[in-house]
Amino acid sequence: MASYDIVIIGGAIVGSAAAYFLREEGFAGSIALVERDPRFSHAATTLSAASIRQQFSIPENIRLSRFTLGFFRELKDRFGPEADIAFREKGYLILAGPDGLPVLKANHATQRAEGADIVLEDAEALQRRFAWLSGEGVSAGAYGLSGEGWFDAHALLALLRKDVKARGVDLVAGEVVSVERTGDRVRGVTLATGERLEAGTVINAAGPDAGKVAAMAGLALPVEPRKRSVFVFEARDRFDDMPLLVDPSGIWVRPEGAVYITGGAESEEGEGPAEPGDFEPDWPLFEEVIWPALAARIPAFEAIRPGRAWAGHYEFNTLDQNAVIGPHPQVANFLFANGFSGHGLQQAPAVGKALAEWIVHGGYGTVDCSAFGYGRIAAGRPFRELNVI
């Protein structure tokens, strides 16, 4: 039986970032990073829209993304001159109609207070800035002048995994099927092969399956997989100044090289968990909801050529659409890094850093993640993020 100081369940961006920052914080003990799908064909990380923003409603989420932004800027110092995640700093543009205006304004004030480089402009000013935009039904928009954009998630994941492997983290291929717990301590995990890994500490980094993994330890976590489709299309016109645009309807679109990608039409109302094997894009959403909305917002998109599409599962926290970070209050050697609800890729480096600080130094230093703690889950007290895209 193998024995590790730390077993991380899930080896995609959150698990890999935790392992990376444990080493960065000087943790010299043994670490197993356990992943059942080492090609990451179904991970949220590799099926995401790979974008980063400062435009959140609560300061803690802005701070997490701002840490990651700094991490992106230091990438070559950390990983060498060849390190490149193709970060395109093109901004987000979040539009609001009359109904959404008060929230947009309040969010903007919070973001500015955190030092985020976001401007709030009315429809006329936005149309002067972006000639391709229709201001129909738009009261205002918040636009990130810097610090927001998109990047290559595969490249970021590969950098982290290569680095932790070189620093003695065991990349274990296998599926955790049970977590052994006696009283207020977890003792280890068992893989589908029957192999058992003894663990001093277990980190749950299982993404959309985090609720299932928590249940293996007898702990309740309101995180479930929700299906999200992303559609690719071509258009005749190229808009080099185009940010990631979020329409008041919630539909988003952004350039991706020579094409565009779009999504965001799912309605959360009455929505249930995704079927485990269902990665089929929801095509009617594109035809019936997304395309008409895009054509109304960007008239040049009336004539487009739809291309391929994919669907991923994201880790939806049904209590408050926000992360759950840190130890369980009673089972203190079981740590959560879950429930990011669509913004976990950009938060992963910051969360990895926070968990590593907690484990190595006994408390948070860089970004205080106490507000994301499990206590609120146990109390059923939401800590709600309003900007869920």
Q: How far is the CB of 262 from ligand FAD (least distance, A)?
A: 11
Collapsing DSSP to helix, strand or coil, 187 comes out as strand
Q: Cα–chain-centroid distance for residue 106?
A: 23
Binding mask 230-249 for ligand FAD (x = CB under 6 A): x-------------------
Q: How far is the CB of 48 from ligand FAD (least distance, A)?
A: 3
Binding mask 193-232 for ligand FAD (x = CB under 6 A): ------------xxxxx---x--------------x-x--
Q: How far is the CB of 301 from ligand FAD (least distance, A)?
A: 20
Return d(Cα 33, Cα 24) in angstroms, integer.
16
Task: Name residues contacting ligand FAD, limited to 4-43 (CB under 6 A).
Answer: 9-10, 12-15, 34-37, 40, 43
Nearer to ligand FAD, 72 or 340 (CB): 340
Nearer to ligand FAD, 249 or 262 (CB): 262
Return d(Cα 289, Cα 300) in angstroms, integer.
17
Picking from 68, 63, 67, 35, the residue whose alpha carbon sits closest to that of residue 50 is: 68
Q: How far is the CB of 314 from ligand FAD (least distance, A)?
A: 4
Q: Which residues pair with 337 in a beta bridge?
A: 325
Q: Nearest 5°: CA angle at 45, between 39 and 47?
A: 80
Structure tokens, 286: 């594109």
Nearer to ligand FAD, 130 or 316 (CB): 316
3-state helix, strand, coil in the chain (%, to 5): 30, 30, 40
Task: Candidates 119-127, 270-278, 288-296, 340-348: pick the segment binding ligand FAD (CB under 6 A).
Answer: 340-348
Picking from 356, 339, 347, 324, the residue whose alpha carbon sits closest to that of residue 18 is: 356
Amino acid identity, position 363? G
Q: How far is the CB of 109 from ligand FAD (least distance, A)?
A: 23
Nearer to ligand FAD, 139 or 224 (CB): 224
Does the protein bind ligand FAD through residue 281 (CB under 6 A)?
no
Q: Cα–chain-centroid distance for residue 208?
A: 11
Q: What is the DSSP letter of 386?
A: S
* Burial tier of 107 (Cβ tally within 10 Å: 0-12, 13-18, 19+): buried
Crossing angle of helices 344-361 and 59-73, in 10° steps, is: 90
Task: Name residues contacting ligand FAD, limited to 142-201 (CB under 6 A).
Answer: 175-176
Does the protein bind ligand FAD through residue 94 (CB under 6 A)?
no
Q: What is the DSSP letter of 88?
A: B
Q: Which of 343, 350, 354, 385 binds ligand FAD (CB under 6 A)?
A: 343
Q: How far is the CB of 114 from ligand FAD (least distance, A)?
A: 17
Nearer to ligand FAD, 34 or 235 (CB): 34
Binding site for ligand FAD (CB under 6 A): 9-10, 12-15, 34-37, 40, 43-45, 47-51, 175-176, 205-209, 213, 228, 230, 312-315, 340, 342-346
